[in-house]
Structure 1
Amino acid sequence: MAERNLKVTGGNNTIVHPHYACAIGGAYSAVAIKGGVPIANCGPGCMYKQYFFMGFENGFQGSTGAGGGNVPSANVGESDIVFGGMKKLDDLIKATLAIYDADLFVVATGCTGELVGDDVGSVVKKYREAGYPVVYADTGGFKGSNLIGHEIVVKAIIDQFVGDYDGKRQKGLVNLWFETPYFNTNWRGDYIEIVRILRAIGFKVNVLFGPQSEGVSEWRDIPKAQFNLIISPWAGIEIVRHLEKKYNQPYLHIPVIPIGEEATSAFIRELVKYAEIDEEESEKFIKEEAELYYYFLDSFSHFFAEYWYGLPSRFAVVGDSAYTLAYTKFLADQVGLIPVKQIITDNPPEQFREEIREEFRKLSEGVSVEIEFMEDGYLAEKALAETDFGSGVPLILGSTWESDVAREKNALLLEIDPPSSETVVLNRSHIGYRGALQLLERIYTATVGSK
C-alpha cells in the first residue's frame, strides 16, 4: 500500500506506514450507499488494496454488495495504456449493468485512465442518456488520499445524478455529512449513534451512507433539506460548500465530533438553535440521556477511586484529524488525562490546518496542546518513541502501525484508526452519550487486563 502514497515534493520521499488510502478509495463511498455499485477503471489490484486497507485490515469490517472482491474492475494493462481503454471500459459498464440490479453506478477512474486521458465522461454519458443511473468520478491516486476521493465521488453524484433543483426546502430535514465510510474505523456505529441523537431531538435526517440509509431516494432529497450538517475538522467541507453554491443551501460546520455528556449536549443545543426548532423535545432528550450517562459514570467512579494509582494519566493519539481531535478533547476535558503527543496523519489541506491547531489550543480550561502533522508512519512512530509519558502507564490511541512502539513502552494501545488489524469491529461507537461509555469501558478493561 505504501507505494501508492508518494509525496510529490521531490526526492526519495516515499511514505512508510501510510495511514490513508489513495483517492480511488473514494469508490468505497459508493459501496456505502445502499443500492450503490462502484465500477473501477484502474489497474489490476488497485481496488483490492483499497479494500484491504480500508475494510479488511481496518477492524475487519468486511463489505456488502459490490464491495470487497466483488468490485467490477477494468484491470487496465499495458495495451490499454498504449491504445486506450475506452472499449474495455464500455464493455465493463455494459456487463456490470447486466449483472447488478442496482440504483446507482459510480465509475471511479484511477491513475492509469487519468494519465492516458481516456474520455470516461463520453462513455458514461451514453449510458446516462439511455436512462441508466451511471456517473463518473476522476479519482486518480495522485490527487490525494481517499478523503479527497470521497469528496470527488460525492460531488460527482450530486452533479450527475441528483441534478438541479428549484423547489422548496423542508424545515427540520438535514443532510448529514459525517465520518468517511470504511476509512473511519467505527463509522457504521458512529452513524447509528449520531442519527439516533438527531432523530430524537426532532430532525428528519437524510442518512446518505450506512445501514440506516434508505439509499438513493435520500440522495434525491438532498436539495430539499433545510441545511447541511458537517461534523468534521475538514473532510467534507468541499461537499457542503459545493451544495451551498449549487442549491444556495446553508451549512452548519461543527469541527469536533461530540463525545460524552457535556460535548453532546452542547452539540445538540447549538444544532437546535441554528435550525430554529422547538427546544422542548431536545431538552427532554438531553435530560434523559444525561441522567443515564451520570448513573453509569457514578458507578465507574468507584472503580476509578480504587485503582487510580495504576491507571494511565498521560496519553497520545495518532490518527486522522477527526478522531484525533475528538478523542483528545474528551480524554483531556472530561476524563482529566494529560495529552502529551497528538499526531495528525490524514494530510489536511493547508487552508484548514490553522483552524485545526486552534481547536487543540482550547481543549479545556487551561489545557492545550500543539499538534504535529505527519503523513509518514515511520516518523510518527519515532516521535512516539521519543515521547515522555512520565512514570505511569502510557495510553496510545492509534493504529496497528504503533503496536511496536506501544510494546517497547509497555503502553496500552487502542486501535481507533486504519490500519486496525488487531481488533474486530461490528457495531462499535465511541461518540455521543452511549459511545463515550463504551470508550471508557474499552480503555479501562485494557488497563485491568494488563496488570
Structure 2
Amino acid sequence: MSDIIEQPRYGCALSAQQTVLAIPRALPIVHAGPGCASKSFAFAATGAGFQGEGYGGGSHISSTNTGESEVIFGGETSLAKEIKGALQILDGDLFVVLSGCTSDIVGDDSIAVAERFAAQGYPVVGTETAGFKGSSYYGHEIVIKSIIEQFIGSVEPKVQRGLVNVFAVVPFQDPFWRGDLEEIKRVLTGIGLEVNILFGNGSAGISEWANIPNAQFNLLISPSTGIDIVKLLQEKYDTPYLQYPLLPVGAKETSQFLRDVSVFAGLSPIRTERFIKEEEKRFYDYFISVSDFIGEYWNNLPVDFYTVGDSIYAPGISAFLVDELGLTPKKIYLTDELKPEWQQIITESLSARDRKLVTALTFENDGGRIEADIRQSADKAKRSIILGSSWEKFLALDIGSLYAYLSLPLDETVILNDTYTGYNGGLHLMSEIYSAVFKRKTATSRSIF
C-alpha cells in the first residue's frame, strides 16, 4: 500500500477486528488511537450493507484510545489494564488483541502483553495489525494464524473422517459473507461432509475452532487470501488441503466444485451425484421460469458486463455470467493487491472456463482509474451492466448503464443473508441482474433500448 489510490475497496489491517467479530462470542480488544476501531467498523460493517454491530461490535469494541502519554511513555500498561477490564466485564469465549499504528510505531509488544494473560489461563490472543503493515486481507490472515498458533496451539490431531475446515470469503470485506458461508456449508453437508465453517451463524464458535486440528482436510475456496493459512495447518497438524480457486456460482460451477471436493474427500459418488441432480433440477426449474420475462424484455437486457470486486469474488461471478447467462465480459477489475503467483492462479482458472474471461481481466485497485477506463467506453455501455460498489452505481447512472451491487463500499442497500454463491446464490444473482432493468426509467415491455 505504498501508492496513493482513489476510491479504495478495503480497509487497513486493523479492519481484521471484523474477522474476530465474525466468530460467535469472540471479542476484539483494540490497542490504537481514538477513532480507529469505529472507523474500521463504519467501513467494513455499516459500509458493507449496514450489517450491524452484532454481538460486540460497533461502539462496544474495547479500545485503549492511546494518546500522548502512551506515545511518550509506552502503552503496554494501558493495554494490560484494558484487557483486565474486558475480561472482568465482557462475556466472551475468546479475546483477540489487535494493535494499531500508534502502538506499533512506539514499539509496544501487544503480543507479549496478551501472552501474560494467556499464561494465566485466559482465552486471550495477541496480534500486530498496524494499518501500515497491510490491508484488511492481510489482517484477516494474521488474526486466523494467531488464533491457530496461540489459542489452538500444538495439539495431537484426532482425525475425524469427513470433517472439513472451510476457508473462503473474508467476513465483512465480502458484504455477502454470511449468506455465502451458509450456502457453502449447505452444499458440502449435502454431499456428506461435516463442516467447520468457522464464521457466522452457521459456526459453533470457539468449540469449532478448537476442532480445527481434527479435520480430514482443509478446503480453501480462494485464489489468494488464505493460502498461508492452509499451509500453516498442513505444517502444524499434517492436514492436507484442497484449493478451489474459483468461488462456485450457479449450477455448472457448483456441481463441478462438489465433484472435485467429493473425489478429494473420498466420498460416495452416488450420494454426491444424487444431491447434484436434485439441486440442478431445482436450479434450472427456476432458470426456465424467467424465460417469459427474457422474451418480453429482451431489448432492455444487458449483453455485456463489467465486474469490480476482489479476487475471491469477482472471477467466480464473471464465470457464471459468461457460462450460464451468456453475457460478454467487457472488463473484470480485481481490486485487491495480488502477488504474481496469485495472478497466475486466477488467469489459469479463468482460462479453463473461457478465454474471453482472461482477455477482460485487469488487476487494478485504483477506483479512479477503473472509472476512467469504463468511461472511455461509455458510448458503448448502453447494453452493459456494471457489478460493483456504490461508486459504480453513480457511474452507471451517469453513463446510462445498468448496475447491481457486488463489492464494498455499499451504503445504499441492506444485506442480511443474501448470497451469490452456490446454487441459491446463482439464482439470487440472476434475479438481481434482471431486476436491474427496472432501475432504468425507460424499461418497458418490448421497448427499443
Hey, what does 2:33 align to over in structure 1?
43
Match of 1:224 among 206, 214, 224: 214
| Residue 211 (str. 1) matches residue 197 (str. 2) | no
| Residue 252 (str. 1) matches residue 207 (str. 2) | no
- Cα distance per residue 1:124-168 (max 9 Å; x no partner): 122111110000011111111101100000000000000112233
Match of 1:156 among 146, 154, 157: 146
- Cα distance per residue 1:356-412 (max 9 Å; x no partner): 223333433766424222222111111121135736422000111223321221111
| Residue 171 (str. 1) matches residue 161 (str. 2) | yes
Deviation at 1:272, TM superposition (A): 0.3
After superposition, where does 1:237-386 map in structure 2 within 5 Å? 237-364=227-354, 368-386=358-376
| Residue 107 (str. 1) matches residue 103 (str. 2) | no
Q: Secondary structure at the match of 1:268?
A: helix
Deviation at 1:103, TM superposition (A): 0.7
Does the aligned pair in 1 maintain the 2:318–2:357 contact within 8 Å? Answer: no
Does the aligned pair in 2 maintain the 1:314–1:389 contact within 8 Å? Answer: no
Once the two structures are overlaid, the 10-residue window that deviates more, 136-145 or 296-305, is 296-305
Hey, what does 1:393 align to over in structure 2?
383
Identity between Structure 1 and Structure 2 (%): 41
Matched residues, number: 441
Hey, what does 2:190 align to over in structure 1?
200
Q: Distance in 1 between matches of 2:356 and 2:144?
A: 39
Cα separation, partners in 2 of 1:239 and 1:389, compared to 1, 3 Å: farther
Deviation at 1:243, TM superposition (A): 0.7
| Residue 75 (str. 1) matches residue 61 (str. 2) | no
Q: Distance in 2 between matches of 1:207 and 1:360?
A: 26
5+ residue gaps, structure 1, are 1-6
Q: Secondary structure at the match of 1:154?
A: helix
Match of 1:146 among 133, 136, 154: 136
Does the aligned pair in 1 maintain the 2:347–2:358 contact within 8 Å? Answer: no
Deviation at 1:17, TM superposition (A): 1.1
Partner amino acid, structure 2, of 1:410: G
| Residue 437 (str. 1) matches residue 427 (str. 2) | yes
Q: Distance in 2 between matches of 1:27 and 1:365?
A: 39
Q: Secondary structure at the match of 1:335?
A: coil
- Cα distance per residue 1:51-91 (max 9 Å; x no partner): 11110011111121111111101111122111100111011
5+ residue gaps, structure 2, are 444-449
After superposition, where does 1:53-132 map in structure 2 within 5 Å? 53-132=43-122
Does the aligned pair in 2 maintain the 1:111–1:142 contact within 8 Å? Answer: yes
Cα separation, partners in 2 of 1:367 and 1:188, compared to 1, 3 Å: closer
Hey, what does 1:32 align to over in structure 2?
22
Q: Secondary structure at the match of 1:361?
A: helix
Does the aligned pair in 2 maintain the 1:193–1:429 contact within 8 Å? Answer: yes
| Residue 135 (str. 1) matches residue 125 (str. 2) | yes
Q: Secondary structure at the match of 1:403?
A: helix
Hey, what does 1:3 align to over in structure 2?
none
Does the aligned pair in 2 maintain the 1:313–1:392 contact within 8 Å? Answer: no
Cα separation, partners in 2 of 1:430 and 1:367, compared to 1, 3 Å: closer
Partner amino acid, structure 2, of 1:302: D
- Cα distance per residue 1:165-206 (max 9 Å; x no partner): 223311100001011111101000111111111111100011
Q: Distance in 1 between matches of 2:80 and 2:214?
A: 34
| Residue 184 (str. 1) matches residue 174 (str. 2) | yes
Does the aligned pair in 1 maintain the 2:381–2:399 contact within 8 Å? Answer: no
Does the aligned pair in 2 maintain the 1:341–1:387 contact within 8 Å? Answer: no
What is the TM-score when the length of structure 2 is the normalising length?
A: 0.95
Partner amino acid, structure 1, of 2:233: L
Deviation at 1:114, TM superposition (A): 1.2
Q: Secondary structure at the match of 1:48?
A: helix
Q: Secondary structure at the match of 1:147?
A: helix
Does the aligned pair in 2 maintain the 1:314–1:390 contact within 8 Å? Answer: no
Q: Secondary structure at the match of 2:400?
A: coil
Partner amino acid, structure 2, of 1:229: L
Does the aligned pair in 1 maintain the 2:329–2:360 contact within 8 Å? Answer: no
Partner amino acid, structure 2, of 1:421: D
Hey, what does 2:447 align to over in structure 1?
none
Partner amino acid, structure 1, of 2:164: V
Q: Distance in 2 between matches of 1:207 and 1:389?
A: 45
Q: Distance in 2 between matches of 1:47 and 1:184?
A: 19
Does the aligned pair in 2 maintain the 1:175–1:206 contact within 8 Å? Answer: yes
